[in-house]
Amino acid sequence: MGSTFDMVDLIRAKRDGRRLGDAEIDWLIRAYTDGAVGDDQMAALAMAIVFRGLDAGELSTWTAAMIDTGERMDFSALRRPVVDKHSTGGVGDMITLPLAPIVAACGAAVPQLSGRGLGHTGGTLDKLEAIPGWRADLAPAEMLHLLDEVGAVICSPGPGLAPADRKLYALRDVTGTVESIPLIASSIMSKKIAEGTPALVLDVKTGSGAFMRERERAVELARTMVGLGRSAGVATVAYVSAMEAPLGRAAGNAIEVEQAVEVLNGRGPADVVELTLTLAREMLHLAGIEADPAEALRSGRALEVWRAMIRGQGGDPDAPLPRARHQQVIAAPRSGVLTRLDAYAVGVAAWRLGAGRARQGDPVQAAAGVRWHAGAGEEVAAGQPLFTLLTDTPERFARAEQALAGGWEIGEDAGPPQPLVLERID
C-alpha cells in the first residue's frame, strides 16, 4: 500500500483548510474501502470536505483513487461506437428510458448503468422493474452481447465498479454529506470513467426537485464533471436543465414506463420529447454518428429497439403494467392558469404514496405515484382533475396530499414560459 497516514491528521488538515497530498488521498480511499478506516472517521472527513472543498488537483486524485479500488469495463470489442448519458436526477425524469433506444436505433451502443431511487427522486431501475420479468442484473458477457446486438442496455453496475463510491455514497446519504460539488462530481465520474465509455453527456438538474437547487451551483457541478471527464480522456458535454417543475405528466414507476412508451410511440409530453432529442443529438454527435434521432422516433425504429432491449433483459414489453389498487383525485378549486407546479412537492408526494423508499433496500410499489393533468402555465377549469394519486396502501393518501399542498397555485397569468434547457457546457 505504500506510506500510511494517521486519519485523524488528515481530518484535522482538511478541517483547517489544508490541501491533501496525492499519497494521503490514495491511502485514505484505499484504507476506507478495505475497512482499515471506519465510517466514523470517513464521515468526519466528508463533512470537512463539504465545508472546505477539494481543489482541482485533489479532486482528480480523489476520483482516480476511487476508480482504482475496482475494475474497469472494456467495450473495445463492440462493433458500435459507445456513448453514455447520466442525469443527476429529478422528478418525472424518465428520459433514459426512451433516450437509450433512440440513440441505439441510430447505430450507437448505450451502456446505461443506472441506480435506484432514494428520497424524492426516482430510480431508473425501480421504474423498469415495474415491467413483468425484467431484471436489472446482467453478467458482463450478457451486457456486451446485448450492446452489440440491440445497442442498448439499462442495468445495475456490478459490485466491482468503483466500490469505494458504493460505500462512501451510502455513508454520505446518512450523514448529511451528499451536497458537496467535489463529492458528487467524483462519485458520478468515478463510475462513468471506470465504466469505460469514451463519450458522455451529462444532464445536470437545477431547481426545487434537484440536488443543486441554485443554478450557479448546478453550472459549477457541470463544469467540474466536464473537467474530470476530459482529463480522463472521456469526451464529455453537460447540459444544465430546469427541474423547478417536474418533467412530463407522471412521477412513479409503472406510470413513468407507460409515459416512456408513449414517447416511443410519438405521443409523449412535449418537454420530455424536447429534452430527450436534445440529449440524443449530443450523444450522436459525440459518438461521430450522423443521424436524426427524431426520425428514429417517427419511423418506429426506436420503439423496436425498446422492445428488443426489454426482451433481452427478460421482460415482456406487451405485458400489462401493474395498476394501483386505489386512487384519489384532487380537483381544481377554481378556474385560471396553473402558475406553479413544484417538482419537490410532487416528488415527495409520489415517494409517500410508495413509489420511492425511505431506506436503502426498502421495497417500492410498482404502481404508486402521481399524475398531473395540467402542466405549469396551462389553463385549468374549476372541478377538473389536477392530480391523480395512486397507491396500493390508501392510508398513504393523507401524507401525500400534505406534501402536495402548497406545491401548486392557480392564478391569472403564468408569465412567459421558462426554458427547459438552460446551458450547454463543454
User: Residues interacting with ligand URA, by CB under 6 A?
Assistant: 88, 169, 178, 183-184, 187-188
Measured CA to CA, the distance from residue 163 to residue 160 in angstroms comes to 6
Q: Among residues 212 and 235, whose Cβ is nearest to ligand URA?
A: 212
Residue whose C-alpha is closest to residue 327's, from 257, 395, 388, 250: 388
Distance of alpha carbon 143 from the chain centroid: 20
Residue-wise burial string across 317-341, b where 16 or more C-beta atoms lie within 10 A, e elsewhere: beeeebebebebebebeeebbbbbb
The CA distance from 84 to 224, in Å, is: 18
Identify whether the C-beta of residue 92 lies closer than 8 Å to the C-beta of residue 121: no
Catalytic, out of 60, 180, 187, 241: 187
Q: How far is the CB of 192 from ligand URA (least distance, A)?
A: 9
Sheet strands side by side (includes 84-87): 84-87, 199-206, 235-242, 421-425
Query: Which is nearer to ligand URA, 191 or 396 (by Cβ)?
Result: 191
> Nearest-CA neighbor of 102 among 249, 247, 260?
260
> Smallest gap, in angstroms, from Cβ of residue 340 to ligand URA?
26
**Is 165 known to be catalytic?**
yes
What is the smallest separation between the CB atom of 187 and ligand URA, expressed in angstroms?
3
182 vs 248, beta carbon nearer ligand URA: 182
Reading the block at residue 196, the C-alpha cell is 469505460
Residue 188 beta carbon to ligand URA: minimum distance, rounded to whole angstroms: 5
Distance CA 340, CA 333 (A): 15
Query: Among residues 169 and 372, whose Cβ is nearest to ligand URA?
Result: 169
Catalytic residue among 26, 93, 126, 165: 165
Q: Of all residues in the chain, what percent are helix, strand and coil, respectively (each to 5)?
A: 45, 15, 40
DSSP state of 376: T
CB of 86 to ligand URA, least distance (A): 8
CB closer to ligand URA, 62 vs 387: 62
Q: Where are the beta strands (DSSP E) in 73-164?
A: 84-87, 110-113, 152-155
> For ligand URA, which is the closer residue by CB, 151 or 157?
157
Q: Report the run of H or E that residue 398 belongs to, with start and end.
A: helix 397-404
Residue tagged active-site, from 172, 223, 340, 357: 172
The residue sitting closest to ligand URA, measured at its beta carbon, is 187
- To the query of whether residue 230 is one of the catalytic residues in this protein, the response is no
Q: Which of 14, 30, 85, 86 is catalytic?
A: 86
The least CB distance from residue 169 to ligand URA, in Å, is 5
Rank residues 183 and 324 by Cβ distance to ligand URA and give the closer one: 183
What is the closest distance, in whole angstroms, from the C-beta atom of residue 179 to ligand URA in the complex? 9
Q: Which lies closer to ligand URA via its Cβ, residue 112 or residue 187?
A: 187
User: What whole-number distance in Å separates Cα of residue 162 and Cα of residue 201?
Assistant: 20
The grid cell for 264 is 416511443
Among residues 14 and 172, whose Cβ is nearest to ligand URA? 172
Q: Is the separation of the CB atoms in 13 and 37 below 8 Å?
A: no
Is 127 a known active-site residue?
Answer: no
Instruction: State the nearest-atom distance from the C-beta of 269 to ligand URA, in Å.
Output: 25
Longest pairwise C-alpha distance within the chain: 71
Lookup: cell for 408: 401548486
Which helix (H) or strand (E) segment is 202 a member of?
Answer: strand 199-206
Which of 194, 203, 129 is CA-nearest to residue 166? 194
CB of 122 to ligand URA, least distance (A): 13
Q: Do 262 and 272 form a contact (C-beta atoms < 8 A)? A: no
Element (DSSP H or E) covering residue 188: helix 181-195
Q: Is 86 a catalytic site residue?
A: yes
Within 250-396, residue ranges assigned H as helices are 254-264, 270-287, 293-298, 301-312, 343-350
Q: Which residues are catalytic?
A: 86, 165, 172, 187, 191
